[in-house]
Structure 1
Amino acid sequence: MAGTGATRMQRLGCDSWLSLIIVSLVLFLVYGQSGNSGEEKRVQELEKSCNKLMEEKKSLQQQSVMLYKKLNETSITIGKKDKELISLRSMANHSYFHFQGLQKRLNSCEDEMQAHKKRQFPGPVPDNCQRELTKANLQVQQLLREKFNFSQTCQELNTAQETAKKKIIGLEQSNADLRRQKTSMEKSHAMFSRECKQDYVNALGGISTVTKAFLDKIENFFSCASTFFITCEKRSMYLEQVHTNCTGLSREMESKFQSYLNHVGHIMSNIRKNNTDLMAQNEELMKELQECRQSSLARVEEGSRRLHEEQERHGREKEQMLKDKKKLESDKELQEQQLKLRFLELNHINSEKQRLNASLLSCIRMTGGGGSLVPPGRSEFGDTMSHMKELQKYAVGR
């Protein structure tokens, strides 16, 4: 009976050890494989997110380069338009001084006309007035053409300014969209990092829990089974060996998993470091982009202000030119009317002169041909002088 009981106890101990070993192997396989596959998936997802962030960084760099190019093109265009405005301003000033010179010449012509009106015998009309009027007409036409060209240039500048404003608005909208995308990506990345860290902590806690539970079961089993095998030295040694093997297996499992987790933690720390560097670079790029946008807006505002000032100044100069033009046209019409009247007076005087000369010749012929027509007490010379005085009185009366 004693041998049968010992045999049963031996079989029971072997079955218990086999069941414990099988359970430990199953737990090792289950938790080891699931933890390994979960960590690999997390690492792959982190690599994908890192690659995505790198692509977004490249796209932001390309967009910043494009913005720099557009800003340079806009500044060059504004510089060209400023030069054109300066040249147009100098032309307008030259035209103004030229108009002043023409006004002085017209005043001198009017003074000459007044002087000719005050004379007894109207002299010939000066040709330089007609030449000055023709020259003034040509200059007015030239100024009108310059005005049209300046108006067309202003329209082109306004169109270019509106186009630049539209481009800036589009770029601001795209920058706002990029900032929103960046914010959402940062939030998702922070959430993903927290989840990954929590999974990492949970995985580490599960391994510690399994190892601790396994060791507790071993200790409990050996504390209960030691009373049965204390009488047999070989059984006790076998039991101690099994205890050592199980404990060593558990420690080895824990060390291997710990080394694996340390490796994963090192990879995670590197990924986080790279992510931090990328976020810092992205923040610097966004700051540079903000500075570029502010400088671009400042340049556009300065250009629009200068354009508005030039347009106002040009409007005042244009109004003054139109007034001068109207005055010149009215003076021209008045001088033309005066010239027409003077030509009519000259034609009438010439016709009267011819008639008087003809009558004088007829009188001279009559007195010289036979029979004196001169009254007594008067000579032929005296009669001719009377005709000359009459002609002078007629001219003065006209």
Structure 2
Amino acid sequence: MIKFGSLFLTRKCKEDFAHSLDGIKKVTSDFLTKINNLFPHQLTFHLTCDSQQEQMEKIRNKCTNLSKDVENKFQLYLDNVGSKVAEIQAFSSRLEVQNSHASSELKQCEHTRKEATAESANQLQLKQKTHDTQVEKLLIEQNQPRDQKKLLEDTLALRDRELQNLQRTISAQPNTKGK
């Protein structure tokens, strides 16, 4: 299908290019007409010698051949340029298609990257929150024995003071047993 479209495009390009230069054929046709009008088959004037008539015929032939050579060479040129234009347009079309595909893929990649970035940010935030919660829990668990030890130390210090106060109170009381 692509090959058929490419051949059609090539032929169409050549035809369009050749059509745009149809004026050249008109110029060469007009040139031939003027040559033929200049040298009609039935000369209206009589050439006095054979060499003059022969020279006129040579000039006419050279002009006719020149016009045909110009047209033939120009046709070769048109064919060559038309082929090159068709190649360039086909190449340009391929590049446009490739560019379109590349742009589409780029947009898809950018979309995928944005989604991946957003997902990664969400995962990072969730993991950070989980980590923070675990660290907080560990700190609480780690501080709990220390807090209990301090509470026990404070309780023991309080008991020691109470014991010392009781001992002072007992020491300060007179010895009533011996009396």
TM-score by length of 2: 0.63
Superposed displacement of residue 293, structure 1: 1.8
Which whole-Å deviations, capped at 9, do the CAs of 1:282-319 have from their partners, x for residues lacking one? 33433333333222112101111112323444565677
Partner of 1:308: 125
Structure 1: state its 5+ residue gaps: 1-193, 364-372, 374-398
Partner of 1:214: 31
- Out of 249, 272, 282, the residue aligned to residue 66 of structure 2 is 249
Structure 2: state its 5+ residue gaps: 1-12
Pairing 1:288–2:105 present: yes
Distance 1:225 1:300 in 2: 93
Which whole-Å deviations, capped at 9, do the CAs of 1:85-112 have from their partners, x for residues lacking one? xxxxxxxxxxxxxxxxxxxxxxxxxxxx
Partner of 2:10: none
SS at match of 1:242: helix
Superposed displacement of residue 259, structure 1: 1.5
Counterpart residue type for residue 72 of structure 2: S
Partner of 1:272: 89
Which whole-Å deviations, capped at 9, do the CAs of 1:2-53 have from their partners, x for residues lacking one? xxxxxxxxxxxxxxxxxxxxxxxxxxxxxxxxxxxxxxxxxxxxxxxxxxxx
Superposed displacement of residue 211, structure 1: 0.5
Identify which range, 333-342 or 239-248, moves more after superposition. Answer: 333-342
Distance 2:147 2:62 in 1: 124
Distance 2:131 2:83 in 1: 71
Pairing 1:340–2:154 present: no
Superposed displacement of residue 280, structure 1: 3.6
TM-score by length of 1: 0.33
SS at match of 1:223: coil
RMSD: 4.4
Partner of 1:258: 75
Which whole-Å deviations, capped at 9, do the CAs of 1:238-264 have from their partners, x for residues lacking one? 544433222111001111122122222
Partner of 1:104: none
- Out of 44, 56, 62, the residue aligned to residue 227 of structure 1 is 44
Which whole-Å deviations, capped at 9, do the CAs of 1:334-365 have from their partners, x for residues lacking one? 55543332111222344456x39x948x94xx
Alignment identity in percent? 29
Distance 1:308 1:278 in 2: 44
Distance 2:140 2:19 in 1: 88
SS at match of 2:40: helix
Counterpart residue type for residue 23 of structure 2: G
Which whole-Å deviations, capped at 9, do the CAs of 1:137-195 have from their partners, x for residues lacking one? xxxxxxxxxxxxxxxxxxxxxxxxxxxxxxxxxxxxxxxxxxxxxxxxxxxxxxxxx9x
SS at match of 1:293: helix
Distance 2:144 2:54 in 1: 132
Distance 1:290 1:279 in 2: 16
Superposed displacement of residue 212, structure 1: 1.6
Which whole-Å deviations, capped at 9, do the CAs of 1:48-80 have from their partners, x for residues lacking one? xxxxxxxxxxxxxxxxxxxxxxxxxxxxxxxxx
Q: Please identify the structure whose Cα radius of gyration is greater.
A: 1
Counterpart residue type for residue 206 of structure 1: G
